[in-house]
Amino acid sequence: MKRRLKIFAGLSNKGLAKEICTCLSIDLGQMTYKQFSNFNIKVRLEESVREDDVYVIQSGYPDTNEALMELLIIIDALKYASASRITAVLPYYPYVRSDKKDEPRISITSRLVADLLETAGANRILTMDLHAPQIVGFSRIPVDHLQIKHTMCNYIKKKRLDNYVITAPDVGSAKRAEGFARRLDVPMVILDKRRYSDDEKAEVLHIIGDVEGKDCFIIDDEVSTGGSMIEACRALKENGANDLYAGCSHGILCGDACQRIQDSVIKEFVTTNTIDQSQNCKYGKIKALSVAKLFGDAIAAIHMGTSVSKLFL
């Protein structure tokens, strides 16, 4: 008997979950959520999932800790309700930047998250644009790692920019930016940016490549406060760049980041809805591309047992 496909969603990004269900022509699974006065969480599945192929969509933002705990509880409920296979769909992976032991006596938290998902009962993970590809190796269960590169490149092509370069905001982002530049067949520029502590402002010391008289499209994996991105744009302008565009997979945009982008020299800031952008898009310069079809196609491929890598061709 063929397993039924079902999708449930936590509270962090229900809008994206509903879009994915629309792409797959199915209804979002029914579930009730309750938080008690002591802040404990209870979820209850309101429909049978016995022997079903179930996908739980939950982004690790804005409340990372609550979102993660909610996801683990949903997975546990699905396991004890006899779901055949449970896939944790994490458009934005929680604790993604904690991927190495770069200080004494700290946790590699993104590895811990992988362990927690497996312990809760997840059979596989579906996510997008991890901060570092090696995070896939932290998991002992299969991980499908989607990329926004193709969607973002198609968007850039539609802008019909005549003379532009892809710009890496720092040396660590150069490999990611190179993939965009190669696909678009345009030059790449790298900014030599230094930050000596978390409290210090990032400073651009050198620009590797020519930006004079050219439009620049800066690519990063995520943007939080926007400070580094705005500083990069300032340096590019001072070196003769024309219009400045910025893009990232995950628009955290915390604090006053949206207003700072709106007031900056950036002409347009493009992100995706891996994190809910419904409020942020009220700022004229901020645009969100939907990843619903990409996730929907990946879920369909996993459910049917076909290749996920074909989505990158």
Task: Tell me the H-state helices in the chain.
Answer: 14-24, 64-80, 109-120, 149-158, 174-184, 227-238, 257-263, 292-304
80 Cβ partners below 8 Å, 6+ apart? none
Q: Which amino acid is at 64?
A: T
Contact 88, 126 (CB under 8 A): yes
274-297 pLDDT tens trace? 999 999 999 999 999 999 999 999
Per-residue confidence band for 262, with pLDDT thresholds at 50, 70 and 90: very high
Kindly tell me the sign of the dihedral angle through the C-alpha atoms of 170, 171, 173, 175: positive
Return mean pLDDT, the chain: 94
63-76 pLDDT tens trace? 999 999 999 999 99
Per-residue confidence band for 193, with pLDDT thresholds at 50, 70 and 90: confident
DSSP secondary structure code for residue 178 in this structure: H
Give the closest residue to 161 by CA, choosing from 83, 213, 100: 213
Q: What is the mean pLDDT of residues 106-112?
A: 96
Per-residue confidence band for 2, with pLDDT thresholds at 50, 70 and 90: confident
Residues of the chain with pLDDT > 90: what percent? 90
Domains of the chain: 5-147+292-312 (3.40.50.2020), 149-289 (3.40.50.2020)
- 282 is known as an active-site residue: no
Q: What is the mean pLDDT of residues 112-140?
A: 96
Predicted confidence (pLDDT) at residue 196 exceeds the cutoff of 60: no
CA 222 to each of CA 74, 92, 142: distance values in angstroms, whole numbers, following the listed order: 27, 10, 24
The per-residue pLDDT for 142 is: 97
Per-residue confidence band for 1, with pLDDT thresholds at 50, 70 and 90: low
Predicted confidence (pLDDT) at residue 30 exceeds the cutoff of 60: yes
Per-residue confidence band for 59, with pLDDT thresholds at 50, 70 and 90: very high
Tell me which of 158, 193, 293, 310 is the catalytic residue: 193
The per-residue pLDDT for 313 is: 67
Predicted confidence (pLDDT) at residue 14 exceeds the cutoff of 90: yes
Q: Based on the number of CB atoms within 10 Å of its own CB, is 15 exposed (0-12), middle (13-18) or buried (19 or more)?
A: middle
Residues of the chain with pLDDT > 70: what percent? 97
Predicted confidence (pLDDT) at residue 198 exceeds the cutoff of 60: no
Alpha-carbon gap, residue 200 to 298, rounded angstroms: 40
DSSP secondary structure code for residue 135 in this structure: G
Contact 280, 272 (CB under 8 A): no
Rg (CA), the chain: 20
Place of tokens 């061709």: 313
Per-residue confidence band for 204, with pLDDT thresholds at 50, 70 and 90: confident
